[in-house]
Structure 1
Amino acid sequence: MKILISADMEGATGVTWPADVLPGTEQWQRCRRLFTSDVNAAVAGFFDGGADEVLINEAHWTMRNLLLEELDERAQMLTGRHKTLSMVEGVQHGDVDGIAFVGYHTGAGTEGVLAHTYLANSITGVRVNGTRASEGLLNSLVVAEFGVPVVLVTGDDRTCEDARGYAPRARTVAVKDYVSRYAAVCRPPARTAADIRAAAKEAAALAVRSAPVVDGPFTVEVEFDAEHLAGAATVVPGVVSSGERKVAYTAGTMYDGIRCFKAVTTIVSSAVEEQYG
């Protein structure tokens, strides 16, 4: 049994503030250990549950945040940027039986600690076929096309609620409770590590590959906080204006859909000005 862990940082134990996840800050250095602790707990739990192999895909910002020297030695880590499937890179090779979303968060425009979708700011909402979408939902649609179930989700309590919509059978662990976008009631790492490990052990039983599920076509609509960003996004072929500060595109598969979304966010980030966005 092979498990892929997609590891994001905003939903990690103790993380509540932008500096906690911004590479290079003092707080980021501190929170890297908390993030690594959550991932290690998931790794240990999956091996407890019978996994033979665990691959961790670093999925936050520069994708160079986890401390390799402190990782469980039984795991392997894919680190660095510019990967075909970004946050779920590795799922496409046909050997993954289940995926875990560790350290995830809610989507742009919703309640949740450090809520956003791909870009920390600029995007105010994403919808897929009319349904508001978090990164968890987007990524779940991608992995379903490879027959891989989402078996574990960790993050704040709102993230766990969100997961029930796209992965109702997955085990969930709330490492903190939402108070505001930048505040939460946090559990200490010793407690969250135990909770994550226990949930991952149970989740291993759900890691059973199935026939690929393709529910396309998918119409993705993205709303921005400024009109010029929507204009910039239409540089991507197939992306058209769909309303004030909004663009949309349609993809036959979510494999293509997420790659187009990555192109849109890359173009848009280059159009953001420092003070006015």
Structure 2
Amino acid sequence: MKILISADMEGATGVTWPADVLPGTPQWERCRAMFTSDVGAAIAGFFEGGADEVLVNEAHWTMRNLLLERLDERARMLTGRHKSLSMVEGVQHGDVDGIAFVGYHTGAGTEGVLAHTYLANSLTGVWLDGKRASEGYLNSRVVAEYGVPVVLVTGDDRTCEDAEGYAPAARKVAVKEYVSRYAAVCRPPARTAAEIRAGAREAAVLAIRQEPVRRGPHTFELEFDAEHLVGAATCVPGVERTGERRVAYTSQDMYEGIRCFKAVTTVVSSAVEEQYG
């Protein structure tokens, strides 16, 4: 049994503030240890549940945040940027039985600690085939095309509620309770690690490859907080303006859809000015 862990940071234990997840800040350095603790607990739980192999794919910002030297020696870690499937890289090789979303968060325009979708700001909403989509929802549709079920989701309580909509059978572990976008009721890592470990151990039985699900074509809609970002987004072939602050595009499958989404967000981020957005 091989498990892939997609590890994001905004939903990690103790994280509530932008500086907690921005590489290079003192707070980020502190929170890296709690992020690593969450991932380490999931690794341990999956091995206890019968996994033979666990691959961790770093999925936050520079994708160089986890402390490799503190991870379980039985695991391997894919670190660094510019990966074909970004947050779920590794799922496309046909040898993954289940995937865990650890440290995930809710989507842009919704309630949740540090809620966003790919871009920390600028995007106010993302819809896939008419349904508002978080990163978890988008990634769940990508991995479904490879027959890989989502078996575990960790993050704040709103993230676990969101996961009920795209992975109802998955084990959910809320490591903190949402108060505002920048505040949460948190528990110490010793407690959350035990809960994540237990959740992963139980989730291992769900790691059974399924028939690939291909339901294309898919329509992606993106809404921005400023009109000029639409102009930047439509530089990507196939992306069209649908409103003053909205664009849309259609893809034949989620593989191409998520790659186009990555291209759009990369181009848009380069068009954001520090003071005026």
1:223 to partner: Cα distance: 0.2
Partner of 1:211: 211
* Counterpart check, 1:30 vs 2:30: yes
Matched with 1:146 is 146
CA positional deviation for 1:231? 1.0
> CA offsets per residue over residues 161-205 of structure 1, 9 Å max, x none?
000000000000000000000000001101100000000001000
- 5 Å matches for 1:129-144? 129-144=129-144
**Normalization by structure 2: what TM-score?**
1.00
Alignment of 1:1-277 (within 5 A): 1-277=1-277
Task: Give the RMSD, CA atoms, in angstroms.
Answer: 0.4
Report the secondary structure of 1:103's partner residue: strand
Structure 2 residue identity aligned to 1:55:
L
* Mapped partners of 1:216, 1:174: distance in 2: 32
Question: How far apart, CA to CA, are the structure 2 residues paired with 1:91 and 1:51?
Answer: 16
Q: Does the residue aligned with 2:55 lie in a helix, a strand or coil? A: strand
- For residue 12 of structure 1, report the CA deviation from its aligned partner: 0.1
CA deviation after TM superposition for structure 1 residue 224, in Å: 0.3
Aligned amino acid, residue 56 of structure 1:
V
Q: Secondary structure at the match of 1:166?
A: coil
Q: Give TM-score scaled by structure 1 length.
A: 1.00
Percent of residue pairs identical: 83
Tell me how far apart the structure 1 counterparts of residues 129 and 142 of structure 2 sit (CA, whole Å): 14
Q: What is the one-letter code of the residue matched to 1:75?
A: A
- What is the DSSP-based 3-state SS (H/G/I as helix, E as strand, rest coil) of the residue aligned with 2:164? helix
Instruction: Tell me which amino acid in the other structure corresponds to 1:276.
Output: Y
Q: Quick one: distance in 2 between partners of 1:253 and 1:141?
A: 10
Deviation at 1:217, TM superposition (A): 1.0
Distance in 1 separating the partners of 2:231 and 2:215 = 29
| Runs of 4+ residues deviating >3 angstroms | none
Gaps of 5+ in 1: none
Aligned partners of 1:134, 1:215: CA distance in 2, in Å?
Answer: 19
Give the partner amino acid of 2:190. A
> What is the letter of the counterpart of residue 210 of structure 1?
Q
**Once the 2 structures are TM-superposed, how far is the Cα of residue 133 of structure 1 from its aligned partner?**
0.1
Deviations 1:94-123 (A, max 9, x none): 000000000000000000000000000000
TM-aligned CA deviation for residue 215 of structure 1: 1.4
Aligned equivalents of 1:22, 1:219: Cα separation in 2: 31
**CA deviation profile, 1:211-232 (whole Å, cap 9, x unmatched):** 1001111100000000000111
> 1:50 and 1:126 mapped to 2: Cα distance?
37
